[in-house]
Structure 1
Amino acid sequence: MGHLVAEPAGEVAGWGCCGPYRDEGTTTADGEADALYVRPDRIGTGMGRALLDALTARAESDGRPALLLWVLWENRRACRFPERAGFLADGAEEPFEVDGVAVPETRYRRRLSAAEAAADSRG
């Protein structure tokens, strides 16, 4: 698993990690961005995008054909973030519960290798 920390001027302002896709019962070589957090005062500064780009590069260098991430579906701002980075919602949804409240997530995917992208275009 790869962990990355954003530290402008020696101050931790963001953190992200990625590794193999962790869905039980699913066999895939894809990677997953398990976490991506930026301090609220740093949102909109490009720090989150830099972290996501670095996680994507790490997954690609690990030989992953795609990188997946889960986003809270009702948080439209959070959904636009991976969309701007070339991720597409792939139709997978997952119930997620926080303190007894259902918070559904949707999965986003971005192909990382030219061979995988070509396979997608052939259908």
Structure 2
Amino acid sequence: MVQVQEMNEADIEAVSTIRVRGWQAAYVGIVPQSYLDAMTVECDAGQRRQRFSQPGRTSRDLVALGDRGPVGWICFGPCRSEMPGLERVGEVYALYISPGLIGQGIGRILLSEAHAHMKAQGFETSALWVLCDNQRARCFYERAGYQTDGAAQDDVYDGITLTELRYQRVL
């Protein structure tokens, strides 16, 4: 199976590949194709290196390692939304698995590890945002105990407005 560990700088290129290929696979027909086509691993890796080296960074990154390196990645930390009791709410910022390995339990393992880390940090609840039209992700998170809480936000991708729904679950 996979082993989960803290992401390090040597994992950045692989994580960027997982994220970009994940977007390009998961969001076909949801996010404008022009936006997906413009995504590059190099650009993502450059941005990730900058964020990864920021002093005082509060996010945490875990990778799932397979036989040949990272095959999945999750990023989480304090909740960025306005919510009552915010100091006790963590947030899953991103979770991506190599597209060819989706459905093998890697996402469930990473999510479980992130939940354990958040709980150990004193968070009582986990929140996350999912594109409204991403049915596969919504089903995945619902099976993991998340429920929509009524909050929604819009993001614009190449001039197209897409709605995200906030999900929460008790840790």
Deviations 1:30-75 (Å, cap 9, x if unpaired)?
1100111111001000001111111111111110010000001111
Name the counterpart of 2:51.
none
Name the counterpart of 2:147.
88
1:105 to 159, 164, 167: 164
TM-score, normalised by the number of residues in structure 1: 0.85
Matched, 1:5 2:63: yes
Structure ID, larger Rg: 2
Give identity over the alignment, percent: 41
Provide structure 2 residue ranges, at least 5 long, that are not aligned to the other structure: 1-58
Matched, 1:47 2:140: no
Q: Note the aligned Cα RMSD (angstroms).
A: 1.2
Query: Do the aligned partners of 1:3 and 1:18 also contact (CA within 8 Å) in 2?
Result: yes
TM-score, normalised by the number of residues in structure 2: 0.62
Matched, 1:19 2:61: no
Query: Do the aligned partners of 1:2 and 1:58 also contact (CA within 8 Å) in 2?
Result: no
Give the paired residue count.
Answer: 111
Q: C-alpha separation between the residues in 2 aligned to 1:101 and 1:46? A: 32
Matched, 1:70 2:129: yes
Regions of 4+ moved over 4 Å:
none
Provide structure 1 residue ranges, at least 5 long, that are not aligned to the other structure: 113-123
Query: Do the aligned partners of 1:18 and 1:33 also contact (CA within 8 Å) in 2?
Result: yes
Q: C-alpha separation between the residues in 2 aligned to 1:107 and 1:51? A: 19
